[in-house]
Structure 1
Amino acid sequence: MTNKIVAIQGNHPSKLNPKTDTSVFLAHEIQNKNYKIFYYDPKELSVINSEVIASGFFIKFDYKDKNFFKIQKKQKLALTKCKFILIRQDPPFNLEYISTTYILDTIKDKVKILNNPTSIRNISEKLYSVRYQKFMPSTIFTQNISEIKNFFKTHKKVIIKPIHSYGGNDIHLLNRFNSKFINQFIKKHDHIMCQKFLPKISKGDKRVFLINGKVCGAISRVPKKGSFLSNMSKGAQPINVKLTKKENIISMLIAKDLKKENIYFAGIDFIDKKLNGDINVTSPTGLKTLFDLSGVNLAKTFWKNLDK
């Protein structure tokens, strides 16, 4: 019989902010159902004698305690003993990331893994949006400097960002074309995403939560003064928000597509009613913030079907 254990593959809890972190929020909810939480770093995942083993620790989360987590027992654990595994580390999408998905692929028929490791390997968080470009601002994916120059001539103000980064890192607003800077950026990141700048980002974006093929809620994140980055890790302030009819229709379409791809939980973003092209499938954030703003607990929704 499967133990009531949830393993979380993620960044060390000491690096997490309990006020906003979704991994802690999800863990705390299932912990209240008498599940044990086992935490491990992706680097600590191994295959030993054909068994998938992680070196980590059992942990307990407590929002009431200033030290919001307590490590109870360090050990190695065969992950097939778990009922669920949550893949919750921050990207970037690199070879270590890919290797962990291949390892977890070998046990996905024995343990429910969220999100499915094959699916998150196949769905690039930026490039997957190519199929939805009619809902997006003008966007290209390239490492061709001439294509970027032509795009800049057309749109004058352009956002560039790496395809495989996260959290608002390495995102730049170009007000003038700088060949040297762009060449260095391409050298570092290979293919990049270039997108027409939407000035209404100053009023905030909308983060939409998709769970099991359904649109479950949304928050807005307003960049701090002088910034165009809507990530809360970059100082943006969250506020309550409702989706427009058009945003809801687009969100439902993507939610159904992602369910077909075996993606259980995802986050997508809108700016000025346009999809911005980030399809977050590795470690979507914002559930704790939604709860604090509205009282809506999507952690309960997340576990509702899984825990039957």
Structure 2
Amino acid sequence: MNILIVADALELFKIYKDTTFSMMREAQRRGHKLAACEPQHLGWQRGRPVTATVREVALTGDKNEWFRVEATREVPLREYDAVLMRKDPPFDAEYIYATHLLEQAEREGARVVNKPSALRDHPEKLAIMEFAEHTTPTLVTRDEKAVKAFHAEHQEIILKPLDGMGGMGIFRVGADGLNLGSIIETLNKHGTQTIMVQRFVPEIVKGDKRVLVIDGKPVPYSLARIPQGSEIRGNLAAGGKGVAQPLGEEDWKIANAIGPVLAARGLLLIGLDVIGGSLTEINVTSPTCFQEITEQTGFDVPAMFIDALERLVASGQ
């Protein structure tokens, strides 16, 4: 296969943990050819197909100079067997514009993973609301009074922006409501931005589990991201400790209920965040934790993903 990776700059990758890097490494090991670009390298000129200025790359195996550029050229996206959209959030206007260009490339014959329209239709925090039976009580609103009423009902709550990542902007408010008004103002920008509020799940002390689902099938191990010290956030970017562990009964139940539904919509890879048996987020843009799970358990997550990608390409869908 010829594979194009649309992601952040390769120079910014932390290859000791980067999931996109692990995908590239497994793909090259199987003899597939790799190219990479950033969203700003996509273009569409009237009367022409969507193209990208790409770098054709090969992985070197060196930890420092881990890739070499073999050529740089402008290529129609439809010439690739697969285009992997792996750009990290923020899920902002530029991200949405990129999905529109990728969707046009699909109409021209490109195969894009995850499907661009599905990326737009499943904002990572809002997507859980479709699966209410698996979530903790949750409110999405701009309204300060609604947030305060939710707090009065549930006493201990978590507040977070809809466009955050890596644990950024997450606040916990206890039963005393200390600083609740100020936190609401900070997050909702005096009623101009929508936020998410959830009942606090105390099982966070045991970890915020990342459950990966590939082509509708759960990876049998999760990565429990355990908060350290006085932190309430388990996110690795916020200093959480990642511990791989077999999926529990509730993890399997949630993954088997949601995975096939979203796979049918063109989401080949998703990452479910589960705390104490409650679904808290569905990651669709660039789910991570491949390397941590593989290194700690021996289960080859990148191989499972490339297997699924090869099946998709072979199917012609």
Per-residue CA deviation, residues 247-299 of structure 1 (Å, 9 max, x unaligned), is 211210000110221211100011112111x1101100011111111111121
SS in 2 for 1:43: helix
1:14 corresponds in structure 2 to 11
Which residue identity lines up with residue 284 of structure 1 in the other structure? P
For residues 27 and 97 of structure 2, the distance between their equivalents in structure 1, rounded to whole angstroms, comes to: 28
Per-residue CA deviation, residues 143-195 of structure 1 (Å, 9 max, x unaligned), is 11000011122223221111122221221222324323312311287111101
Per-residue CA deviation, residues 201-249 of structure 1 (Å, 9 max, x unaligned), is 1221211110111112322111222211121122211112122222211
Unaligned regions of 5+ residues in structure 2, if any? none
1:70 corresponds in structure 2 to 68
For residues 40 and 64 of structure 1, the distance between their equivalents in structure 2, rounded to whole angstroms, comes to: 21
Matches within 5 A, 1:99-178: 99-109=97-107, 110-175=109-174, 176-178=178-180
For residues 17 and 102 of structure 2, the distance between their equivalents in structure 1, rounded to whole angstroms, comes to: 27
Unaligned regions of 5+ residues in structure 1, if any? none
For residues 115 and 228 of structure 2, the distance between their equivalents in structure 1, rounded to whole angstroms, comes to: 35
Per-residue CA deviation, residues 60-103 of structure 1 (Å, 9 max, x unaligned), is 23444333223333332221211111110111221111111111
For residues 38 and 291 of structure 1, the distance between their equivalents in structure 2, rounded to whole angstroms, comes to: 24
CA contact (8 A) 1:152 1:177 kept: no
SS in 2 for 1:190: coil
Which residue identity lines up with residue 25 of structure 2 in the other structure? H
Greater shift, 140-149 or 196-205, is seen at 196-205
1:262 corresponds in structure 2 to 266
Q: Which residue, 281, 290, 296 being the options, matches 2:299?
A: 296
Q: Which residue, 179, 184, 202 being the options, matches 2:181?
A: 179
Which residue identity lines up with residue 120 of structure 2 in the other structure? R
For residues 167 and 34 of structure 2, the distance between their equivalents in structure 1, rounded to whole angstroms, comes to: 29
For residues 168 and 157 of structure 2, the distance between their equivalents in structure 1, rounded to whole angstroms, comes to: 16
1:225 corresponds in structure 2 to 229
1:28 corresponds in structure 2 to 25
Among the aligned pairs, what percent are the same residue? 26
2:248 corresponds in structure 1 to 244
CA contact (8 A) 1:149 1:177 kept: no
Greater shift, 202-211 or 64-73, is seen at 64-73
For residues 37 and 288 of structure 1, the distance between their equivalents in structure 2, rounded to whole angstroms, comes to: 19
CA contact (8 A) 1:24 1:61 kept: no
Pairwise CA RMSD of aligned residues?
Answer: 1.7
For residues 170 and 131 of structure 2, the distance between their equivalents in structure 1, rounded to whole angstroms, comes to: 21
Report the CA distance between 1:306 and its aligned residue: 2.9
1:47 aligns with 2:44: yes
2:238 corresponds in structure 1 to 234
Which residue identity lines up with residue 300 of structure 1 in the other structure? A
For residues 252 and 126 of structure 1, the distance between their equivalents in structure 2, rounded to whole angstroms, comes to: 19
1:286 aligns with 2:282: no
Greater shift, 171-180 or 51-60, is seen at 171-180
CA contact (8 A) 2:171 2:183 kept: no
1:211 aligns with 2:214: yes
Q: TM-score, normalised by structure 2?
A: 0.90
Which residue identity lines up with residue 183 of structure 1 in the other structure? E
Which residue identity lines up with residue 189 of structure 2 in the other structure? K
CA contact (8 A) 1:39 1:58 kept: yes
Distance 1:235 1:71, change over 3 A: farther
Distance 1:71 1:231, change over 3 A: farther
